[in-house]
Structure 1
């Protein structure tokens, strides 16, 4: 097990790979994330909301052992950061920029089966009325076309992160977080295109909303298993945060009909402490047929964890700790790339100074499950 620093700058705040994505082609890996500035914000994230977050990506050509940082090679409306409005003041938000620099209509003609395809979904913020965008690359993330505006699907808001399954040349599923009736993010839908991205239609809701005023089920991470079953991991929260009675866990849902219907499939991870807002997981199929789940664990002592399943998600082994030494709960949001030889490259954001006083940085753990 080897820890590799991808991006670390004592004067910057880097975070949230799960909001953007990881893409790989044999031993070439590309990871998306954002970089802003540290500050004294109250709550979980100590960032300076008066200064911008900018999108960058990191590329490894040797299976995650070394990385080069690249500017995001696509159009950012108004030069604003994607999927980061909750971390900046309104006047420098992406939502404000879209008023004068709107996304293009969905293009159609997307070749989903292209061998060097990458898709990235992005959003404004988490507020009511949030909008989402789609980017497309055919050259391993060296250039991105877009942004293209995703529909609202009749929802109060769409707060997309990158999660998709290619079904064919012109067919693809997107898994999107959408708002509850009160406008706050809270549940997941599955949408499909059959015409190369010219349009998408709502196939089904994935699960429901956990009980409690702060309940949500968000941030899907989906894998297609041998035989065609779809399995998605959802980040879940229930209870009442203000009363200190919130709970956090990861749920699995399965579809046997390419996303048209979904059934609860298990709860592989339950976090034990409240008040930390949970963390998303990510699913990956290993070459030997086992299934890998990785996640940030914001329970003290603040770690990056993993579990393995030998029966495609029906049961899970004990937690494997990939990274220890977190400074506070401001960690996680992992994405994992699996190499042809079975090596896993799990990337996440982390901090390692007591009380979270140090920088937030991007790291990868390279390991053999």
Structure 2
């Protein structure tokens, strides 16, 4: 295995690739992340100075994840621009080979989120387009979508529950020039089920992996829909344990197997993976990609397989709780 620094800056906290997306075109990879002011925190929160602004950035590799260049992310590129109506997306061809889509929470207005689009492999972004899906429910979108056609997208997002707490996953669909709520993956429950990572399964199915936490336990489980997202049932358990939780990154290997990568926020702190030979019905033994983390504040993986078969797993990492968080990549073979 090879561990590579994607982003490391004095005084900065690089975090949460799972929240900001990964797109790949052969050996060209783009991953989004957030850069915050670093501040040592001893109360169990992230080591950031919340009084200072955050910046959304993206890293680009042209050689399968071995070297990286840092660029401005969607919201930075479009900062100060007018918010656009989602109807203006009706002329955009989402099926283009170089298209990328990003989403972001709208902190100013509940029930809405922002969408950004790129037609040139994330070199330039257009937006933000305001998307309304609920009257007043807070939406926390992760970058998890499947392009179905020129003007057809299925997206999977997280919204707060009726009591205002996080959260539940829902499926939304874009067609005829607008986004529409479609279904909930899970009913109201104690704790949360959040941060989906989804694959299409056959002509009409979806398999979603999700992060959950309740009653002092956390885990990763799958949900399966056989009917284009209309109905869902609980699938297999990928991982279950105690402590702090971390989201999954689910993807399909070139040989047809499925893989989930995730961070571990209990000892040993690190980055892990599990593979499935049967379409996600069961998962093989856990694989340790690295277990040298110095604190729980790490993970939020995104993973992608390049043409030569290597997997590039990207995450934020903590070598010591008193030092800056970095964005790093592990290149490994399944």
- Alpha carbons of 1:227 and 1:129: their partners in 2 closer, same or farther (altered >3 Å)? closer
Q: CA deviation at 1:341?
A: 3.0
* Post-superposition offset of 1:315: 0.7
**Aligned-partner Cα distance in 2 for 1:77–1:142:** 12
Counterpart-to-counterpart distance in 1, 2:111 and 2:298: 25
Pair 1:266-2:236 in alignment: yes
The answer as to whether partners of 2:205 and 2:229 remain within 8 angstroms in 1 is no
Q: Which runs of 5+ in 2 are unaligned?
A: none
Query: 1:103 aligned to 2:83?
Result: yes
Distance in 1, matches of 2:183 and 2:322, equals 43
Deviations along 1:215-251, one digit per CA (max 9) or x if unpaired, are: 1111111111344421111110112xxxxxx211111
Q: Which structure carries more strand by proportion?
A: 2
| Aligned pairs (5 A) from 1:28-47 | 28-41=28-41, 42-47=43-48
1:92 counterpart residue number: none
Aligned length: 331
Question: 8 Å contact 1:287–1:341 — kept in the other structure?
Answer: no
Partner residue of 1:249?
219
Is the aligned partner of 1:120 residue 2:91? Answer: no
SS in 2 for 1:150: strand
Secondary structure at the aligned position of 1:18 is classed as: helix
Provide the rounded CA distance (Å) in 1 between the counterparts of 2:266 and 2:70.
Answer: 30
Q: Deviations over 1:93-145 (max 9, x none)?
A: xxxxxxxx7621102223121100100111145x9937421100000000011
Secondary structure of residue in 1 paired with 2:149: coil
Cα distance in 2 for partners of 1:268, 1:343 equals 22
TM superposition shift of 1:203 = 1.3
Could you say which residue in structure 2 is the equivalent of 1:310?
277
Stretches of structure 1 lacking an aligned partner (at least 5 in a row): 80-100, 240-245
Which residue pairs with 1:56 in the alignment?
57
TM-score by length of 2: 0.94
| Deviation digits for residues 143-164 of structure 1 (CA, Å, limit 9, x no counterpart) | 0111111113345211111110
8 Å CA contact retained: 2:169, 2:184:
yes
1:185 alignment partner, SS class: coil
Distance 1:226 1:341, change over 3 A: farther
Partner Cα distance (1:209, 1:295) in 2: 25
* Runs of 4 or more above 6 Å deviation: none
TM-score by length of 1: 0.85
Q: CA–CA distance in 2 between the matches of 1:227 and 1:144? A: 31
Name the SS for the 1:167 alignment partner.
strand
What is the rounded CA distance, in whole Å, between the counterparts of 1:325 and 1:130 in structure 2?
Answer: 40
| Maintained 8 Å contact 1:13/1:361 | yes
